[in-house]
Amino acid sequence: RVDRLLIHDGGIRDGLVAEMIDELGFRCQHPRTHPEQVLGAVARYAERMKFPREHSEHVAQLALKIFDALAELQPDAAGTWAKPAHRDLLRCAALLHDVGRRIALKAHNKHAYDMILHADLATLTRREIEFIANVCRYHRKAGPKRGDPNFRKLGADDQRLVAHLVGILRVADGLDRTAALLQAVAKDKNGLGCGGAGDDAGGEGPGHWPQPLRGPLRPELLLQAAPDRTGGRGEVIFISK
């Protein structure tokens, strides 16, 4: 009788070799892939999954602006969460956050997590893939909880970093959808008809998502109004330290 079964989602042979190296007191180093190679692989995977290009690229642009603005507000953050490598991971997550719609609109954030974990993204390390998948997992609905099995896989530092980047991605995603809703309302007032612009809205074709927002961003205010998909209330999930 088996009460509990753990299934390793990586390569068993590679895991055994890494464990042997750890037991010998060495650290296994992965060759660093150029960021543009990583981004190229992520973009190609997103294309294969038929991601909403205009929306995802717009969200990525907004997320990077918020990341940079927050880094300027906290000069000491360069040694913690505001590293260039973390900025690259945020960009990847922003491009991939809606790939779960390939399976179903409902719970697409959870589908995105599973898809990214099993995607062929050889330019990323296993840790980076797990990290990006978690950021996408929590871009909507409930935020990270310490008891979540997927979140527990991460170390304490990565859990804090995921919470940082999830907050930024939620704001960027909410800004894009808010702009889309305003455009739809304007069309409706002009008698042109209006479709919903929320998470469960239908249309996603070319032109559905608006052009990037213009003007300076106020990240300290945006984070206070991070969209909470569970009930429409503002929910701050960004952790500054």
**pLDDT tens series, the chain, 241 aa:** 777 766 655 566 766 776 677 667 665 555 556 788 888 999 999 999 999 999 999 999 999 999 999 998 887 887 788 899 999 999 999 999 999 999 998 999 999 999 999 998 888 888 899 999 999 999 999 989 888 899 988 988 999 999 999 999 999 998 887 656 555 556 555 544 433 334 444 444 433 333 444 444 454 444 444 444 433 333 333 333 3
d(CA 81, CA 7): 31
Q: Using CB atoms within 10 A of its CB, is residue 5 exposed (0-12), middle (13-18) or buried (19+)?
A: exposed
d(CA 84, CA 109): 25
d(CA 134, CA 108): 13
Cβ 99 vs Cβ 112: under 8 Å: yes
